[in-house]
Amino acid sequence: MSAAAKRKPAAMRSAAKKDVVFGLGKTGLSVARYLARNDVDAIYIDSRDEPPGIEELHEICPDAELHTGNVSKELLKGAARVIASPGIADSDPLIMAARKVGVDVVSDIELFVDEAEAPIIAVTGSNGKSTVTTLLTLMCDASGKKSLAGANLGEPALDLLVEDTPDFYVLELSSFQLQRTRHLPAAVSVLLNISPDHLDWHEDEAEYRAAKYQIFQQAEAIVFNRGEDDVKAQLPDNVPALSFGLDAPGHDEYGLVSDAGDVFLARGENMLLAASDLALVGTHNQTNSLAALAAGQLMGLEMSAMLQMLHEFPGLPHRMQKVGESRGIRYINDSKATNVGAATAAVDSVQGMVVLIVGGQGKGADFDRLAKSTCGHIRVAILIGEDAPNLEAAFADLAPTERAADMYTAVRKASEMAETGDTVLLAPACASFDQYPNYMARGDDFAGAVEALAL
């Protein structure tokens, strides 16, 4: 597979205009490091009056021109382009003003592909992309290949460029990054699934889907979920593609087959690994495993090494993570299930009845869909966070609900209402920012509350 195509490097850009870096978060600071390495001057802006990262910016660029708070649109007159952090929506007034005057708005990924000298494996999806990205890096290691993973997961993509060149870059890409990336010559592009998400950022579901489909453009090979509606229609012509799904696979497809009462991950007619031998929990992780195998095949990884990783890798923290068990009741932390699709998949993957802890900031989510999809599997829904009233309305007449003011109260109520064989599942279907700094803190709080039960 060829390395990423090269374009005009940043250091060769005209000095007449300056890049404008919008946002001083993790991504923005990685852009600052990248531009400093290339001796490129830039203007840095942030809509917050006192954003974190100012001290680090001045360590990177002591003479950096920084504007914070209510930034004047006049700065755009001398802009070569705006490099925007993923969290800044296209509806931001400054982004809209830039586009109005013809200034290009790009992601850090655009800069990354300018200099990447190894094949890029691009992974996206509403759910499961961190797990698949991590699986692929472990599979590379087991196959004797060096990989570096980053972008939406772990290290910002641009920071990977200071490391020795690997055999592969494995990038987890969000819809935010993809929408602003027009040049993505990925050796393998992986689209896991699409369910409505981030509708507080995107104009509508159609725009969100279009952003995800950007991952196919310029791909040398594609891995896709054949169970997803409309995806086949988005595949470019004459590009090799492998599909995966939870049904029986056709020739050179990945899927599940049943034999003598057992379920196996399979490629075509070849059974590869019993589903019961996966270290990962849940049906949706069978899907993630199949996607990783398909991508690994296209990358030329060793099948035996990939299967060994599936047998050993227990999953990432806060993703279907078992944190306790007592009286025949399991406690599962899936705090990373920050949208309806992820929460639905989590509930569906659990055997037996579920006491669901759900809620937070819904980001415009369709809670009716969550309630209708899961009600037959839920004993009771314990509602937390600012969207608890909307969730209560969605579950009305479908499943019993209880309100809880905090996580410890929610876990205590869940424990009292669960029966032997049930699973208490934290799958919030919401962002955490109403009560926590991030989903990790929420998951840790859940685990602490379970431990406090003195199981």
Q: DSSP letters of 200-229?
A: TTSSSHHHHHHHHHGGGTT-SSEEEETTST
3-class DSSP state of 153: coil
Report residue 322: phi and psi, to 5°: -75, 125
Helices (H) and strands (E) in the chain, counts: 14, 20
The residue from 18, 145, 198, 413 that is catalytic is 198
236 Cα distance to chain centroid = 23
Residue 176 in tokens: 């935010």
The residue from 18, 127, 129, 288 that is catalytic is 129
Whether residue 152 lies in the annotated active site = yes
**At a CB cut-off of 8 Å and minimum separation 6, what does 222 contact?**
188, 189, 190, 191, 216, 235, 236, 239, 240, 241, 242
Distance in angstroms (rounded) separating the CA atoms of residues 333 and 256:
26
> What b/e sequence results for 1-15 when a residue is b if at least 16 CB atoms lie within 10 Å of its CB, and e otherwise?
beebeeeeebeeeee
Whether residue 202 lies in the annotated active site = no
The residue from 152, 193, 225, 339 that is catalytic is 152
List helix spans (H) across 320-366: 340-348
Whether residue 238 lies in the annotated active site = no
Task: Indicate which residues carry an active-site annotation.
Answer: 129, 152, 198
